[in-house]
Amino acid sequence: MSILIDKNTRVMVQGLGRDGSFHAKLMKEYGTNIVAGVHPGKGGSTCEGFPVFNTAADAVRETGAECGVLFVPAAFAADAILAAANAGAKLVVAISEGIPVLDMTRVVSELNQLGTLLVGPNCPGLISPGKSMVGIMPGRIFKKGRVGVISRSGTLTYEVVNQLTAAGFGQSTAIGMGGDQVIGLKYNDYLELFEKDSETEAVIIVGEIGGTDEQDAAAFVKEHLTKPVVGYIVGRSAPPGKQMGHAGAIISGAGSTAADKVAALREKGVPVADTVEQIVDLIRERLGGSN
């Protein structure tokens, strides 16, 4: 199995400019079930063989799209997320970066009321290897398997997965959750889904400096997870006030340093790798062999 997406998930691509069109092609080539595109003014045309609509409402009504993936400029991205949700999409994956914090605060509140799940924003998306890829993941490095991956860092997602695949450990679903200050789904949401997924046998949490989401995840693992969880935290050498790529990755208060996060995870029984390579060793100890 997998979480959130599979081969049957009906996807609409919102924003078919240069980036959206390019990644729509790659997603379709991977096998993603893209049924529609959304781009104001381009309704009635096609892109990579799927129909394009002027609005998300039109796309959902005509094609039954249930997941929207956004390649929309930051100024319009919040409205595009809500347009997909109000049209009936149950999952939105926001690749867009630079969305204002106030916009996202409003969006997350409205999505909670609508019951729509949000991955991101400012994220690479997610992939269930061999089934569907929604976002900008490099599909060739992924392998179908039994390890779930949740990461705040896009590039670290790729590095961790590359190491896992090379060692023979495939992935059930891998998620780049986004590193902004305000995001949709968080570690605990994904952990709960992985716990319920019969084909996920272990989970990797990749964290970074900033906030206390990793500490929340550690407590959740202790209380609710029966499956082994392995951690990895980047930014251990970052000085206070240093931002590392993401708006949310900044040491700004108690509990937000890498050392704080490592300590919290280990205190709750989650082993934390010191290097990316060691992640594979920790997974091997808990699962044995490979996929």
Please confirm, yes or no, whether 246 is among the known catalytic residues. yes
Instruction: Evaluate whether 11-119 and 138-287 have a shared fold.
Output: yes
User: Tell me, what amino acid is at 153?
Assistant: S
CA distances to 168, 179, 205, 209, 254 from 242, rounded to whole Å, are 36, 15, 22, 9, 14
Is 12:65 a contact under the CB 8 Å cutoff?
Answer: yes
What CATH topology corresponds to 11-119?
Answer: Rossmann fold (3.40.50)
pLDDT in tens, the chain (291 residues): 689 999 999 999 999 999 999 999 999 999 999 999 999 999 999 999 999 999 999 999 999 999 999 999 999 999 999 999 999 999 999 999 999 999 999 999 999 999 999 999 999 999 999 999 999 999 999 999 999 999 998 889 999 999 999 999 999 999 999 989 999 999 999 999 999 999 999 999 999 888 889 999 999 999 999 999 999 998 655 455 555 555 444 444 556 788 999 999 999 999 999 999 999 999 999 998 777
Per annotation, catalytic residue among 23, 39, 224, 246? 246
Tell me the C-alpha distance between 226 and 231, whole Å. Answer: 15
Is 53:36 a contact under the CB 8 Å cutoff?
Answer: yes
Domain boundaries, the chain: 11-119, 138-287
Q: What radius of gyration, in Å, describes the C-alpha atoms of the chain?
A: 18
Instruction: Report which DSSP code applies to 139.
Output: G
Helix (H) or strand (E) holding 3: none
Tell me yes or no: is domain 138-287 CATH 3.50.50.60. no
The two tokens of residue 222 are 């202790």
Q: Which residues contact 144 (CB under 8 A, 6 or more apart)?
A: 129, 130, 131, 170, 171, 172, 291
Order the strands of the 132-135 sheet from edge to edge: 132-135, 125-128, 171-176, 144-151, 202-208, 229-234, 272-273
Predicted TM-score of the model (pTM): 0.93
